Structure 1
Amino acid sequence: MKRVVVGLSGGVDSSVAAYLLKEQGYEVIGLFMKNWHDDSVVISRECEWVEDSNDAMMVAEKLGIPFQTVDLSAEYKERIVDYMFGEYERGRTPNPDVLCNREIKFDVFLKIALSLGADYVATGHYCRKDVISKDGKDIYRLLSGADRNKDQSYFLCQLSQEQLSRTLFPVGELTKPEVRAIAAREELVTAEKKDSQGLCFVGKVRLPEFLQQKLKPKEGVIVEVPVSAEQYDRAVPQFVSAEEELAYYARKPHYTPGDGKVVGKHQGAHYFTKGQRKGLNVGGTAEPLFVIDTDVDENIIYTGQGKDHPGLFRKALFITEDEIHWIREDMALAVGQSMDVMARIRYRQPLQKAGLHKVSKGMYVVFDEPQSAITEGQFAAWYDGDELIGSGVIS
């Protein structure tokens, strides 16, 4: 009987994951991760870890499986929260959920599970895994969830072969309504519970207040850049090499205050991210203002009117060598090689046609269609059909 430790989060997905594994004959242990102590930045009581922990415990009791809580808040602070603060300080926008999976659930948590004699860990993620044989070696494939509306493979884009080999995704073949129906049938307390919307395992957090703990408010100006700015009207130069052309399309425009007019004030450029519309508090424009760039050194936010503003769009992005990650290491590109893929630059974005181009210092991802709000610090993930094969941090 193989032993599986399930990360019971107090939500319906992990509850049903535990139920399914028990039905399949595994020896199941439920483990709740406590990752946060500071309630001062959590805005709603609906997400508090105490309530989640109680729900997880009641599910374990109902299923007749052992249950315990592990406190990973020190590791979470060091690996996720401090990293987030550092990234925002640099003017980048991190993705804590991707990091939480790589650093906490499938690293610290996995090691705890293995120390308990587990063969696998399991989570309630909507994705699938299978194994193929290549050159006499097992290769694990991370596949999109059967429920296209809930597919969470993107959040696991930084996992390794070693991590995947030890992981099970019991709800990956199901749709969300099917999962809720199973929970209701088995009278699990989480059957009707709303999905959490907060930071991974922290709860519903007010991000500016969260950031203000470390990044002090600092007044700066909001500059509106018109569609007619010269950055958007330059002729495409002649390129001496393919790499020079790639770099040209991946480069973001450089703005100075003289490129537009001051339309308002803000309390810190590091609280804002590309593509953001809320929180600017600037009225009187024909169309809503969107953030097109932030300059944390000069503490200036550059904005443009409307979701079609040219400052929002770019055709390519670059990932530095040390930030490229291949789940399928056997498919990794060598310098000079290219590959056609489907890619996304954020969760829930429909997959986009793109090409990967490997160069000596990293890799370019070039999209068939220009993409809105390509944001440094976020993860680009690329797929071959249903399979997520690699990812990297947008530089």
Structure 2
Amino acid sequence: MKKVVVGLSGGVDSSVTAYLLKEQGYEVIGLFMKNWHDDSVTISDECPWLDDSNDAMMVADKLGIPFQTVDLSEQYKERIVDYMFNEYERGRTPNPDVLCNREIKFDVFMKIALSLGADYVATGHYCRKAESEKDGKTIYRLLSGKDNNKDQSYFLCQLTQEQLSKTLFPIGELQKSEVREIAAEQNLVTAEKKDSQGLCFIGKVRLPDFLQQKLKPKEGVIVEVPAGKDLYSEEERTFNSKIEELKHLSKKYRYQQNDGKVVGKHQGAHYFTKGQRKGLAVGGTPEPLFVIDTDVDENIIYTGQGKDHPGIYRQALFIDKNEVHWIRRDLAITNDEEMKVKARIRYRQPLQDARLYQTDNGMYVVFEEPQASITEGQFVAWYDNEELLGSGVIS
């Protein structure tokens, strides 16, 4: 019997994952990750991890599998929380869920599981794994989940061949409704439990409140930039090289305070992110204001009216060469090569037609249609049909 450690989170997905593996004849161990107990930063009045760990324990008991809790809060603080504060301080927007999978679940947690003699680690992610042979070697492929509405492959876009080789995703072939049905049939306490929101394994967090505990408030101005501004008018241009064109397409607009008018005040540019609409507290405009850029050095938030404002859109993005990651290393393109792909810049975004261009310094991703709110610090992931090939941090 192969031994598999399931990351039991106290939710319905991981509960059904454990049940299915037991049915398939694996020796299953349930492990709950405790990821937070830093008293210097309060996260919310509720204590979701206590409820979650109780639910996980009850599920393990019902399934008759061994259960234990591991405390990973030190690593979580170091690798996720400190990183988040650091990124926000620099005016970037990190994705804690992608990081949490790369740094905690499939690294720290996986090492603990393997040290317990496990052959595999399993999680309740809605995605699938496939294998193929190439030049006598096994290639592991990460595929999107069958439930289009729940597909979570994007969150696993930083995994490696080694990590995939030791991972199982038992619910990837199922719809969410089927997962709930199985949980109800087995009388699992999590059958009706709502999906968790907020930071990976920490529970509900109001991000501004969270950030304010480490990043001090600092009053600044909100500037509204009109859509008809000269800097948006594109005259026909000729380029001397492909690189010059790529640089132009991926270039950010650079704003100055005199590009628009001051319409309000804020408590810190580092609390805001591109595309944000809520929390600006500026009224009286015909259309709602959206954040089109933040300048943390000058502490200014630049906004535009309406979701069609030209400042929201860009056709291309750049990934620094150290941040380009291929799950399918055998398909990685080299300098001056290009590749046609489907790509997304956020979870649940429908896949977009795009091209990858590899250069000395990094990779350009050029979309067929301009994309809204391309945000530094977030991840772009690229696919071939339903297979996720690679990803990178937007520079």
Instruction: Indicate whether the TM-score tops 0.5.
Output: yes
State the distance in 2 between where 1:147 and 1:227 align: 39
CA distance in 2, matches of 1:169, 1:387: 15
Q: Give 1:30 shift.
A: 0.1
Give the deviation of 1:214 after TM superposition.
1.2
Q: Which residue of 2 aligns with 1:41?
A: 42
Q: Which residue of 1 is the match for residue 186 of structure 2?
A: 186
Residue 165 of structure 2 is aligned to residue 172 of structure 1: no
Aligned to 2:58: 58
| RMSD (CA atoms) | 0.9
SS in 1 for 2:105: helix
| 2:287 paired residue number | 287
Alpha-carbon distance, 1:62 to partner: 0.1
1:130 correspondence with 2:130: yes
Matched-pair contact (CA < 8 Å) for 1:6–1:29: yes
For 1:205 and 1:49, the matched residues in 2 are separated by 13
> TM-score, normalized by length of structure 2?
0.99
Q: Which residue of 2 aligns with 1:269?
A: 269
- SS of the residue corresponding to residue 315 of structure 2 reads strand
Aligned 8 A contact 1:41 1:209 in 2: no
Runs (4+) of structure 1 moved beyond 6 Å?
A: none
Shift in Å, 1:43: 3.4
Task: Work out the percentage of aligned pairs sharing the same amino acid.
Answer: 77
Q: Distance in 1 between matches of 2:293 and 2:63?
A: 50
Q: Deviations over 1:277-328 (max 9, x none)?
A: 0000000000000000000000000000000000000000000000000000
Alpha-carbon distance between aligned partners in 2 of 1:380 and 1:198, rounded to the nearest angstrom: 20
Structure 2 match to 1:84 = 84
User: For residues 135-184 of structure 1, what are the alpha-carbon distances to aligned partners after superposition, in whole Å with 9 as ceiling and x for unaligned?
Assistant: 00000000000000000000000000000000000100000000000000
Secondary structure at 1:140 match in 2: strand
Quote how far apart the aligned CAs of 1:386 are: 0.5
Whole-Å separation in 2 of the counterparts to 1:185 and 1:112? 32
Three-state SS of the structure 2 residue aligned to 1:41 is coil
Residue 121 of structure 2 aligns with which residue?
A: 121
Residue 237 of structure 2 corresponds to: 237
User: For the residues of structure 2 that align with 1:169 and 1:218, how far apart are their CA atoms?
Assistant: 45
Opposite residue 158 of structure 1, the aligned amino acid is: Q
How far did 1:44 drift? Answer: 5.8
What is the rounded CA distance, in whole Å, between the counterparts of 1:202 and 1:61 in structure 2? 23
Tell me how far apart the structure 2 counterparts of residues 57 and 125 of structure 1 sit (CA, whole Å).
20
Distance 2:45 2:317 in 1: 37
Give the corresponding residue for 1:199: 199
Distance 2:42 2:317 in 1: 34
**Distance across 1 between alignment mates of 2:91 and 2:186:** 47
Q: 1:38, CA displacement in angstroms?
A: 4.1
Structure 1 unmatched ranges of 5 or more: none
- Partner of 1:249: helix, strand, or coil? helix
SS at match of 2:348: coil
User: In structure 2, what is the equivalent of residue 250 of structure 1?
Assistant: 250
Q: Using the TM superposition, give the Cα deviation of residue 237 of structure 1 relative to its aligned residue in structure 2, in angstroms.
A: 2.7
**Partner amino acid for 1:247?**
K
**TM-score normalised by L of structure 1:** 0.99
Which stretch shifts more, 32-41 or 289-298?
32-41
Q: Which segments of 5 or more consecutive residues in structure 2 lack a partner in the other structure?
A: none
Q: Residue 304 of structure 2 aligns to a residue in which SS?
A: strand
Aligned residues: 394
Contact 1:292 1:312 in 2 (8 A): yes
Could you say if the C-alpha distance between residues 85 and 180 of structure 1 is closer, same or farther in structure 2, counting changes exceeding 3 Å? same
